[in-house]
Structure 1
Amino acid sequence: MASLTQLLSVTVVLGAFKLISGYSFKNCIADAYSKGKSFTCIHRKQSNMSAIVNDLPHSAINLTISINPLSHIPNNSFVNLPNLQHLKIDHNHLMDINEHAFDKLYQLKSLNLSFNYISKLSPSVFNDLHNLTFLSLTNNTIKQLHRDIFFSVVNLETLLLRQNFLSHFSEIAESVSHLRNLKTLDLCFNNLTSLSHSNVSLPKSLTILYLCRNNLFTLGCKPSFLRFIQILDLSYNSRLPAMAFEGVDLGQTNYLRLRSTGVKIAEFLNISNINANHVDFSGTGLKDDNLLAEFCTMLKAKVKRIKNLDLGNNRIRNLTKYTLFRCPDITGALDLSRNELKNTRCLNFLRQTNIRSFNAEHNHLTSLQGCKTRNMVSFFKLKEMSYRYNRILSVNSYAFYHTPNITELKLNINTIAFLHRKALKGLKKLETLRLDNNLLTDLFNDTFEDNVNLKILNLRNNRISVIFNGTFLRLTKLTTLDLGGNKITHFEPSGLDGLKRLSKFYLDGNNLKQIESSLSHVFQDTLTVLDLAGNQIRFLSENIKSPPFVNLSKLSDLKLDAQRPFGLTVLPRTLFRGLRSLKSLYLTNNYINHLPPDAFDDLTGLHFLTLDNCCVGVIDLQPGVFKNLRNVTKLIVENMGIQNFSKEIFENFTRLHTLQLNRNVMQSINVDALESLPKLQYLDVRNIPLSCTCLNQGLQDWTLKNVNVQVVYLYNLSCQNDENYKFYNFDTKVCYIDLGESLFFSTAAVIFLFTVIPILYVKLYWKMKYSYYVFRSWFGEQWRRLKEEEENCKFDAFISYNSSDEQWVMDQLLPNLEGNGSSFKLCLHHRDFEPGRYIVDNIVSAVYSSRKTICVVSRNFLQSEWCSLEIQLASYRLFDEHRDVLLLVFLEPISERQMSSYHRMRKVMLKKTYLQWPGSDCDDPEPAQDLFWNKLRRAMRTGSRVKTEESDKSEGCVTDESKDNEISDENYYLLP
């Protein structure tokens, strides 16, 4: 983290000299083409504002923080973003904003705090926002505004306070009265009951005032209070009467909306000084002929001509031919939308021949009748007609014969199943025709016969299955044809003839099984956009006879996404042959099992390529597959199953700006491959199982230190094996160790140990075993107890012997040392060892609680493991502690060869003379045995210190006998 902070600090310093393209941020994404100026922080699970914005650079101008669990904005939250101009903190959980939260934001122009839970604002919260021009507090819970709340935002132009709980208009008026630049004030969806106010007045600059959906029952303002308002919306104040406008100056108002109020329109026109041309009469209760006739009479008395007459949402069910005859001459638009009309009767009810636009959307129309009759009224100036959102099932012949000059006709979003061949007859000036979202099944060669000037034809989402010959033959000026969402299986040979200028052709969501060969013949020099997504196109081989797009030299946008039901599966090698002008290619959601290395060779002009979810399972991209895509700036290869992101495959994207690698399966990314993309600024590697190993050491270092490429949410990328660890800071210290050197020394150590250990085992086995037990005892009470017992020895000698020699010990040794006038006390295994105690502990205790250890050596003794341990312990005291405690008694002759393996015993024999038991084979055994016992008794009476000691004073287990009884010679007598 420290290194990251240093990195960001360096980046900020460099920002003064070099424009930083981007880097990685914890909770935000820099917009790909904003050059480090625009950031979005959306859908983060972060409730701390500082955690979101602290790592953003000073260069940030636009910042959006939306849909987060933020509840609080603390003081000085944005001091590190002094250049911020647009700040959006909407759809969060904000309840509290500290008074200095926006300090230092001197450049801020717009602030959006809408859709939160703010109930109260400090009077000084906006103090530093001197350049603020837009402020939205929409959809909060504000009940009151302090009079000085907007004191510092003197440049404010738009203030949105809709959907709150404000109830005192005077407070609002006083708080904005000094805003000399305020143009728009939105107070809709509050609890205002009147516009009563004190002596304050609204700013003269305020021209747009929205007061819809309040509880106004009167205006209650001074006559001149609204004199500068040009757009006034008072709709959906059901208690507001006409008398509320008496004396109120609305002379400057250009648009007044009174929908769903208590205003009686005739009464209002008598009272108000507003120009009737500027009133929206929709939703004013004019639902029958009598009310409409009265309204028209009064309106005509006010004005002779009216530009736009909006009578929508009045529940009008029927219009006779004289209903609107009394109205002023309508020169612009007539809006009858959202009524209950069931028939328009060829507009005979109008008698308004100067009308230019007619809107009958959202009514109950079920059919459009033919209008080629004797008493037909023609509307030659009518240019636009809309019948959207009705229930029209059929359109009869000559249905628009009375409106021959219309240029835009909207019949979409109905249930039209029958469109008469001559329904559109006479519409020679028609340019835009909307027939989408109906139930049309057939189009005929004379359906569009008269529509020779048609430019845009939308037939999307119908049930057309076949395009017959000559259907579009007369549409030579058509530039956009939308046939998407139908059931088209094929085109007849001449089905597309006549479309000489077609530029955009949408065929997505149909049942085409192959790419029509007629496409490349009909649209050679015109087609720029072709959408074939969601069809049933499929190839069986990578080799096809004729490339379907080879002549579409100007095609710039091609979509082949999501072919049903199993995708393209096979991508032909020459499918894109000739598409050198193609700029965007979409191949998402196909299941291509192999990308041929030359499939994209002709796409030299491509700028955008998406292969998202295009391939089956794990794909192995071949080197050279993208070799000619040098102009691609955005590449999306998400969920392709890419195993290896290598330089050999991606190095030709020399102009690539944005790379999205999400949801692939590579465990590592080659840094060389990334560094081969010199223009890269945006990299998304989320949901890739990157391993936190030395394999990605270089990638980690690159992502942290680059100053040109933004790695999206780098600090949230988890390690593959453990999500608790993050990729950006996994430990790489081990990666810097010289493995060759380590392996050499490790191997050498292992070889040495395997060589030395057997030798040590043979030579020092008992020494080590003894040392272990002594070491164990040293940490317990045993060691201390043994030392104490040595000073007051319990035994004169511990007898070490093999069980096979027990008869000699019991018959000879025991009587001669403990009996026959001798006073020695011996320690024997079977007699003196403590029951239930470890054998080793008993042996150690016996050796250290006896002045001497007598080893009765025989061939059986040498083969006994316990006997070896006992002599090892005694020899340890002899050689290491310098105590003369060991006596060797050989019961039988043992050759030098047999003794060679017992180096410890041979060492004792070299230092001290041993006693040989004169057996029955001796010539005169009795004198020899008497001499043996005398010498053994004399040896047992010697002290435990060797002669090298400075003092001859007895120590340890030494008797009180005089030195005359000691053996003056170092060696004992050897008995033959």
Structure 2
Amino acid sequence: MTFFTMTENLHYSCMGRNLSYIPSSIPSSVQTLDFSFNVLKHLQKTVFPLLSFLQVLDLSRCQIKHIENDTFYNVKNLTTLILTGNPITYFGPGCLNSLHNLQRLVLVDVGLSSLQLQMNNLTKLQELRVGTNNIQSMSLPTFLSTFKDFSLLDLHANNISIIKTDHTAVLREIGRNMTLILSSNPLLYIEPGAFKDIYLRELNIRSAFVSPAAQKAGLNALYGLNVKRLMFGKYRCDYKILSSDANYLDGLCFINFHEVYYYMKEKHDVPVSIFRCMINATIVAVKGGIIREIANVPFYEIKELYLISNQLDTVPGKKLAHLHTLEKLVFTDNVATQIPDFIDMPSLQYVDLSSNQITLTSCCSFFSGTPQLRYLNLSLNPQIGLSVGPFDGLDSLEILDFHHTRVVGMGYLSLFSNLKYLRYLDISYSSITFINIYCFYGLRNLNVLKMSGSNFQGDVARYLFNNLTFLEHLDMSYCRVVELHPSSFKNLQRLRLLNLRGNNLMTIDFLALPNLKQLISLYVDKNSITSIPLHVLQSLPTNLSEFDLSSNPIDCSCSQTDFIWWIIQNQKVLKKAENIFCKTFSPSLDFRTTDFDIDSCVHKKRLTIVLSVCFVTVVVLLSFLVYRFQFYLQYCCILLRGYRSPGQPECSYDAFVIFSSYDEVWVMNELMENLENTGKSIITVSELMYRLLFIIIFLLINLINLNSLIQVMKDFESLSTTARLTLHGVNWSRDPLSNMRFWIRLRKAILDHESRHICL
């Protein structure tokens, strides 16, 4: 039985297998072992086999209660030990002493009540995570000050309510690269000056006070603290607080910080100058409050400003005017409807105004004061109109995002002629119908184009991408495309990803051309593709490593065995191969293409070939026989049809004359005159088929040279002996006597044959 799974080379997982011991079959070379969610209630030295190379050991929620001394001796080279979620009631005094290389110790939710742990030998320790315990004091063991690389102490969600000066004594000695997390503790009181002259990389006190008053007092008590990043306020799930204190953030004025992240949940019924004590910060983020407007703020060194989900109804463009240091502005999830002018902001490179209520008839001249703007996001807004030259002055723009914003004017105007550095354009679901083949003219360096949900009038898609020679990523999903001309992508020789998901394509023959030789990922799932010809499959780009053909109505019939066999043989390339189903008439019947029985088609094909060969042979043979005996077959048909036509009149005619047009005078003047004197008439071909007794064919070619009449009888053998003798040697000539003799003997032969013959 296998007790572990190899997820990567030298990484093994035994997670959740209800094991009560470490399998001895685990290779000694393993570096990472996930043994979480098993049952190891008592840890001692014999629990672990010798795993000298093991670096990461995860024993989360293994119901561990006791850890004896030297438990980890056989895994003493660990760098990470995770014991999260174990109800540990006993730590052996020396249980961790053998872990000289340990850098990360995770004791979250293990029932700790104190930080006074026996871990003197862990001199390389960098992170100690002891959140969600019952620790009541943040007082650290003095030996931690000798751990030169110690940089993170996570005390979140404990029971710390009071912080005194002596509790932070060790922090003063540790150094300047320390992160202290005190979030979600019920802080009531911080002794003033407890953090004076302490240098921290980060202090997180989100939701760390029991009341707004405690927070105000706590911020005041943090005077003298030097911290690079200060995070305070509430978590999203916390309730909003109604505050009437306009000065509750004044304590920030006495804390030295570079970055401040304020997750506010307060609703103020009095004007509050939120940023008054943040003017020296380089990064300011305010999120989740109820702020109607902000005052002009004289930021001195600010580089990044985040105003997120604050219900602000105005983009603070003018109030941030002349901020020469500001590089990044994120103003999202507010209720602003308009964009004011951004004046004299030469360093601004990044502007995100997504998820607001912005509705513009003309964009985007108000960014003329931002010549270095490289990123502009106007997505998830109601509507933005574009007219001629909307991006004039924004020649440095590299990323432009309009997704899920109705964009008016883009489909029929060429708007990007000056954006020669634009690398990324997202106009997905922007209600654009492209009717102008030059819409993307000027985007010579574009790498990524996302245009899901767009429409194309006529065959505009055939020419739309002609100038995008640097394009590597093209998303045309859900565009209701029925057919793509092969030349649509003729110039996209660098294309690596093509997304055509959710269209109405029935064929992907355009892939048979060599233009897309760099293509790696192709998505044509959720289309109407029933089959792909073999020549197209054989022409697929050789670099193709991800091909999504799922959710198409594949035709699983014997006529598509080459295609189905290709699907079976290319499971590694096909994404979601298990979702490639055959087209069926029952919506409840799921039949995978890989389950199709190709062998049965091979037998049917062989049988079809044999039958086809037999059929062709019979047809050829019959054709030969018909051709060889066509005279006799025709005569039999005539006899049979005459036999089956009793309603036809009695025999009226006995001779049928075929003659050349050159002999027409002789036939009409000589032959008819002499023969009709016997009471017989000339008949049509159709009548003769039923009544003919015999045929005399006169081949009268060139009367001037003709000396004899060549007679060919239809049934010469049926004539009586007398008739045959009578006709023997009959010659027609111009001599009157011989001529008279010829006609007498011919009439006699016909009359003699008539008296002996029965009508057909």
Range into which the TM-score falls when normalised by the shorter chain: 0.5 to 0.7
1:212 to 121, 128, 131: 131
How far 1:641 sits from its partner (Å)? 1.9
Please state if 1:252 is matched with 2:146.
yes
Task: Flag the 1:701–1:446 CA change in 2: closer, same or farther, 3 A.
Answer: closer
Mapping of 1:98-247 within 5 angstroms?
A: 100=23, 103-104=26-27, 106=29, 108-112=30-34, 114=36, 116=37, 127=49, 130-139=52-61, 141-142=63-64, 152-170=74-92, 174=95, 176-191=96-111, 203-214=122-133, 236-237=134-135, 240=136
Assess if the C-alpha contact under 8 Å between 2:282 and 2:302 holds in 1. Answer: yes
Quickly say closer, same or farther: Cα 1:665–1:334, change in 2 above 3 A: closer
Match of 1:838 in 2: none
- Contact kept, 8 Å, 1:395 with 1:416, in 2: the verdict is no
Contact map agreement 2:292 2:313 (CA 8 A) in 1 = yes
Q: Aligned equivalents of 1:576 and 1:259: distance in 2?
A: 52
Displacement of 1:454 in angstroms is 1.5
| Counterparts of 1:492 and 1:645, CA distance in 2 | 38
What secondary structure is seen at the aligned counterpart in 2 of 1:669? coil
Query: How does the TM-score come out when normalised to structure 1?
Result: 0.53
Rate the CA distance shift 1:437–1:400 in 2: closer, same or farther, 3 A.
closer
2-side partners of 1:673 and 1:627: how far apart?
16
Is the CA contact (8 Å cut-off) linking 2:224 and 2:256 kept in structure 1?
no
Structure-2 change in CA distance of 1:145 and 1:652 (3 Å):
farther
Compute the displacement of 1:631 (Å): 0.5
* 1:577 counterpart = 2:473: no
Contact 2:261 2:284 in 1 (8 A): yes
Task: Assess if the C-alpha contact under 8 Å between 1:714 and 1:728 holds in 2.
Answer: no
TM superposition shift of 1:689: 2.2
2:473 is the alignment partner of 1:608: yes
Tell me the CA shift for residue 548 of structure 1.
1.4
> How many angstroms apart in 2 are the aligned matches of 1:325 and 1:483?
34
CA shift, 1:532, in A, is: 0.8
For residues 396-435 of structure 1, the C-alpha deviation after alignment (integer angstroms, 9 at most, x for no partner) is 698756654432222332222223xxx2342253221112
Distance of 1:264 and 1:283 partners within structure 2: 11
Question: What displacement does 1:154 show?
Answer: 4.0
| Cα contact 1:113–1:137 (8 A) shared by 2 | yes
1:506–1:531 CA contact under 8 A, matched in 2? yes
How many angstroms does 1:556 deviate by? 0.7
Task: Return the alpha-carbon distance in structure 1 between the equivalents of residues 582 and 46 of structure 2.
Answer: 46
Give the structure 2 partner of residue 485 of structure 1: 355
Equivalent residue in structure 2 for 1:345, among 247, 258, 263: 247
Q: Do 1:683 and 1:711's aligned partners in 2 also have CA atoms closer than 8 Å? A: yes
- The answer to whether the 8 A contact 1:318-1:342 is kept is no
| CA offsets 1:688-707 (integer angstroms, 9 cap, x no match) | 22222334322344345569
- 8 Å contact from structure 1 (residues 530, 558) kept in 2: yes
Q: Deviations over 1:335-385 (max 9, x none)?
A: 582487764638655673xx432xxxxxxxxxxxxxxxxxxxxxxxxx434
Q: Please tell me the residue identity of whatever aligns with 1:672.
A: H
Summarize deviations over 1:428-483 as a string: whole Å, max 9, x none.
53221112322233347732223232211112222222334xx1121222101111
Q: Is residue 210 of structure 2 the alignment partner of residue 315 of structure 1?
A: yes
Residue 593 of structure 1 contacts residue 615 of structure 1 at CA under 8 Å; is this kept in 2? no
Q: Structure 2 vs 1, CA of residues 681 and 285 (structure 1 numbering), >3 Å: closer, same or farther?
A: closer
Task: Report how far residue 534 of structure 1 moved.
Answer: 0.8
Q: Which residue is 2:549 aligned to?
A: 685
- The answer on whether the counterparts of 2:160 and 2:186 sit within 8 Å (CA) in structure 1 is no
Whether contact under 8 Å (2:264, 2:287) holds in the other structure is: yes
Q: Secondary structure at the match of 1:723?
A: coil
Larger Rg: 1
Is the Cα–Cα contact under 8 Å of residues 609 and 634 in structure 1 kept in the other structure? yes
Which of 269, 281, 287 is the matching residue for 1:412? 287
1:515 aligned partner, one-letter code: L
Q: 1:552 is matched with which residue?
A: 419
Give, in whole Å, the separation in 2 of the partners of 1:737 and 1:487: 68
Amino acid at match of 1:132: L
Identity in percent:
21
Q: Kindly state the Cα deviation for residue 612 of structure 1 after the two structures are TM-superposed.
A: 2.1
The number of residue pairs the alignment matches comes to: 594
Matches of 1:346 and 1:594 in 2, distance apart?
Answer: 63
Distance in 2, Cα, partners of 1:118 & 1:695? 56
- 2:424–2:449 CA contact under 8 A, matched in 1: yes
Structure 1: runs of 5 or more not aligned: 1-72, 215-235, 358-382, 754-976
Supply the AA of the counterpart residue of 2:146. Q
Root-mean-square deviation (CA), in Å?
4.4
**2:498 touches 2:521 (CA, 8 Å); kept in 1?**
yes
Quick one: which amino acid aligns to residue 110 of structure 1? Answer: T
> 2 CA distance for matches of 1:194 and 1:348?
33
Tell me the SS of whatever aligns to 1:680. coil
For residues 438-453 of structure 1, what are the structure 2 equivalents within 5 Å? 438-443=310-315, 446-453=318-325
1:187-226 superposed Cα distances (whole Å, 9 cap, x missing partner): 21124578999x9976554454333334xxxxxxxxxxxx
- The answer on whether the counterparts of 2:581 and 2:593 sit within 8 Å (CA) in structure 1 is yes
In structure 2, C-alpha distance between the alignment counterparts of 1:246 and 1:482, rounded to whole Å: 43
Q: Aligned pair 1:503/2:405, yes or no? A: no
What's the counterpart of residue 95 of structure 1?
18
Change over 3 Å in CA distance of 1:393–1:194 after alignment to 2: closer
Opposite residue 614 of structure 2, the aligned amino acid is F
Q: 3-state DSSP class of the match of 1:652?
A: helix
Write the distance in 2 (CA, Å) between the matches of 1:141 and 1:510. 51
Distance 1:651 1:146 in 2: 67
Q: Which has the higher contact order (CA 8 A, sep 6+)?
A: 1
Alignment of 1:232-311 (within 5 A): 236-237=134-135, 240=136, 249-252=143-146, 265=162, 274-275=170-171, 287=188, 292=190, 295-296=191-192, 299=194, 305-308=197-200
Matched, 1:356 2:256: yes
Aligned-pair CA distance for 1:500: 0.7
CA distance in 2, matches of 1:720, 1:427: 64
What is the CA distance between 1:523 and its match in structure 2?
Answer: 1.7
Q: Structure 1 residue 668 and structure 2 residue 531: aligned?
A: yes
For 2:401 and 2:558, the matched residues in 1 are separated by 46
Residue 287 of structure 2: SS of its match in structure 1? coil
One-letter amino acid of the structure 1 residue matched with residue 398 of structure 2? T
The equivalent position to 1:387 in structure 2, one of 240, 244, 262, is 262
Change (3 A) 1:169 1:492: same
Q: Which amino acid aligns with 2:544?
A: L
8 Å Cα contact 2:453-2:478 kept in structure 1: yes
Alignment partner of 2:406 out of 536, 555, 558 = 536
3-state DSSP of counterpart to 1:495: helix
The equivalences for 1:762-781 within 5 A come to none
C-alpha distance in 2, partners of 1:690/1:730? Answer: 14
- Structure 1: distance between partners of 2:213 and 2:82: 40
Give the 3 Å change call, closer, same or farther, for CA 511–684 of structure 1 in structure 2.
same
TM-score (norm 2): 0.66
Deviations 1:873-929 (A, max 9, x none): xxxxxxxxxxxxxxxxxxxxxxxxxxxxxxxxxxxxxxxxxxxxxxxxxxxxxxxxx
Give the counterpart of 2:391 among 515, 520, 526.
520
Structure 1 residue 637: Cα displacement: 1.5
Following superposition, the deviation at residue 740 of structure 1 comes to 5.2
Instruction: Quote the offset at 1:655 in angstroms.
Output: 0.1
1:74 aligns with 2:10: no
Which SS does the other structure have where 2:92 is aligned?
A: helix
Secondary structure at the residue paired with 2:390?
helix
Q: 2:403·2:426 contact (CA, 8 Å) conserved in 1?
A: yes
Counterpart residue number, 2:746? none
In structure 2, how many angstroms separate the alpha carbons of the residues matched to 1:256 and 1:277?
A: 14
Asked if the contact 1:415–1:438 (Cα under 8 Å) also holds between the matched residues in 2, the reply is yes
Q: Retained in 2: the 8 A contact 1:645–1:670? A: no
Q: What is the letter of the counterpart of residue 411 of structure 1? A: V
How far apart, CA to CA, are the structure 2 residues paired with 1:97 and 1:594? 68
The letter for the 1-side match of 2:326 is: L
Give the match's secondary structure for 2:57. Answer: strand
Distance 1:241 1:496 in 2: 52
Which amino acid in structure 2 is aligned with residue 663 of structure 1?
K
Offset at 1:678?
A: 2.0
SS at match of 1:624: helix
Indicate how the Cα distance of structure 1 residues 494 and 634 shifts in structure 2: closer, same or farther if over 3 A, else same: closer
1:656 deviation in Å? 0.5
- Gapped regions of structure 2 (runs ≥ 5): 175-179, 235-240, 623-760
